[in-house]
A and B are shown apart, each in its own frame.
Chain A
Amino acid sequence: MSSLPNPYLPSLARILEVVVETPDIKSFRVELCDEAARESFTFEPGQVAQLSVFGTGEATFVINSPPTRREYLQFSVMRVGEVTGRLHMLQAGDKLGLRGPLGNHFPYQDMRGKDVVFVAGGIGMAPLRTLLLFMLDNRGDYGRIRVVYGARGPANLCYRQEMEAMRDAGQIELILTVDQKSPDWAGQVGLVPNLLMELAPPADNCVAVTCGPPIMIRYTLAALEKLGFADENVVTTLERRMKCGVGLCGRCNVGGTLICVDGPVFTRAQLKALPDEF
């Protein structure tokens, strides 16, 4: 073996707990098996890691527990493909591979002293959760925190109880919405960008952080522009098919920018400088 670090070799991790969030999303709470590695593992909110199910493959997920809470690393996984399908079959005690942290992170330093509005759809809440919890753990550094979060139906809202508890504790202002009316839902109905327009958070000294399906992001960015948010105050996190996660395999580029190492977090100002290929 060579003295070079091997960027492809995962560390072994153990699943501590599996939380069923929605019918197709599970959260996996894991820890690295090696104690020294566990102690020295550091990351920033918004960074991602590659999870391996050996024999099936690897896929990229954001670490959605904040670095301020070290008892486990949490990943929320929606079942959509081969790797996520196999991940959903795993249970507490099972082993998987973990490679990370990878990529850049949310510019939380630049957000200090500002109000923050989170705008999320579906599984897109997962990356924002990291930053949200991080801010709650440093609550004094940030102003008002508002969350607009939507999903197809009530059952598809991720972290619902957790966020409602934050609201009840007065830590955040929360608007939950679903796409279609349903008998078990008394809350808002409507698409996220529309609710955002209704909420109309003042753009002054405020940062918007958004993630969700591509179509939702597109309309959210348009809404934020109408609300007067400057491009550098709009932050999003992108997804691309990734393999290596370290900038070599060549598929996650947008122009000369690689989502896996230069991203996944970009401000709208940065996105505008990239070729239009999303």
Chain B
Amino acid sequence: MSLVFLARENLPAWIGRLYQDMAVFAPMTINGVAAFRALGQDEIPDLSRIPASSPKAAVFPQTETLFTFTSRKHADDLSQVDIDLSYHLAEVPRVILGARPCDARGLKLMDPVFGGKVKDPYYLARRERTIIVSQACAMPDRACFCPGTGGGPYDPAGSDLLLLPVADGWLAQGLTEAGEKLLAQDLFTPAGDREPEAQSLKDKAEAYLAQAPDMRGAEQAFENLFKDEAFWDQATAGCVRCRICAYLCPACTCFNITDEESGLKGERIRTWDHCMSYMFTQEASGHNPRMQKAFRMRNRIGHKFCYYPQLHGGTVSCTGCGRCVRACPSGIDIRRIVESMKRKGA
């Protein structure tokens, strides 16, 4: 497919037009931290930084209503109550703008979870209405390791449209029909001879990431180390059990379900959950199969690098985006854990 050019100064106009037809999720930088959000009118995203959060909330919101329930008491017999249940699926089309290739891959990792044997209608309704416009990573940083998970800074997988950075804008490459459609605008001009410039940035980015450790093929090592409590204790020593790693992860999908009510009305909500929390597996009886944080970390690593790959043809549930590494308050680096696991458990 041919490339077209979008000048940096035309980005706001393009977003303005997209905004007419769909919700736009894009990174906004505040206080030095870029995070995805649904843009308001005339808000201009910052595509220059690697966003601290992933855009997964666009398809899997941190909180969503599964259904509402309303109790109706019978006027003639107040002990008789009818309960009405109703639910609503997303209808508004949306575009994720400024996703990174690792983010697009993250959605691809979530798809088989929510669209497998059991179909999750809430996720699928959003997913079907979502267009992904990714920006290739010309400037990966030291926390990035996408090639080690099967991706790459210019990996087109999962994107509808890929923006390749050049000095004064982007070369846009349509990858799907939906992506191509977004290009049918006078704001885009022929790419001319800009392709070598984009190519050279790509080469540099890939060279920068050449040392990324391979996170794949650790299934056996994990199983071998499963009972090595000292290993997991050490890997988890600094963990303060916050939820950063799971909440910023483009591939984490675990969730909680709770009820909230007020008077005769209420709703059942689904919220992101986190496996490093003691409460995650705490049973009402008092029994907890993952009492210690080391066991919870073991499950976290196992899920991403053993159980998920065993179910999905060796693909790890990690895109190498590096967000957990960048933001961990204790500097825990998932690369180091998997590397030493592969070494010790070989």
Contact = CB atoms under 8 A, between A and B. Distances in A.
Chains A and B directly touch (beta carbon < 8 Å):
yes
Interface residues of B, number: 58
Interface in A55-79: 55-59
Nearest to B258: A57
B79 A93 contact: yes
Contact of B118 (A83, A84, A241, A247): A247
A202 interface: no
B193 to A, nearest CB: 48
From B66, B89, B259, residue with most partner A Cβ within 10 Å? B259
A6 to B, nearest CB: 5
Interface stretch (A38-46, A147-155, A248-256): A248-256
Interface string B269-307: 010010100001111110101100001000100110011
B71 interface: yes
A144 interface: no
Interface in A1-33: 1-2, 4-10, 12
Contacts of A56: 259
A247 B119 contact: no
A81 interface: yes
A155 B275 CA distance: 38
Nearest to A254: B289
Contact of B284 (A59, A248, A256): A59
From B227, B258, B268, residue with most partner A Cβ within 10 Å? B268
Contact of A1 (B79, B89, B285): B89
Nearest to B124: A4
B281 A240 contact: yes
A247 B121 CA distance: 14
B285 A80 contact: yes
Contacts of B284: 59, 80-84, 241
Given A239-B283, A277-B289, A253 B303 contact: yes
Given A9-B67, A54-B266, A247-B117, A255 B302 contact: yes
B287 A55 contact: no
A243 interface: yes
Contacts of B261: 54-55
Contacts of B83: 12, 54, 95, 97
A93 B80 contact: yes
B187 interface: no
A275 interface: yes
A2 B123 CA distance: 12
Contacts of A2: 89, 121, 124-125
Contacts of A84: 284
A83 to B, nearest CB: 8
Contacts of A6: 67, 87, 121
Given A2-B125, A9-B87, A248-B114, A54 B119 contact: no
From B82, B121, B273, B310, residue with most partner A Cβ within 10 Å? B121
B180 interface: no
Closest 9 CB pairs of A and B: A81-B284, A55-B261, A250-B254, A256-B307, A80-B284, A4-B121, A54-B69, A246-B118, A243-B257
14 contacts: A2-B124, A6-B67, A8-B66, A9-B67, A9-B85, A9-B87, A54-B69, A59-B284, A82-B284, A243-B256, A243-B273, A248-B113, A277-B290, A278-B289
Interface of B: 66-67, 69, 71, 79-83, 85, 87-89, 113-114, 116-121, 124-125, 223, 226-227, 253-261, 266, 268, 270, 273, 275, 280-285, 287, 289-290, 295, 299, 302-303, 306-308, 310-311
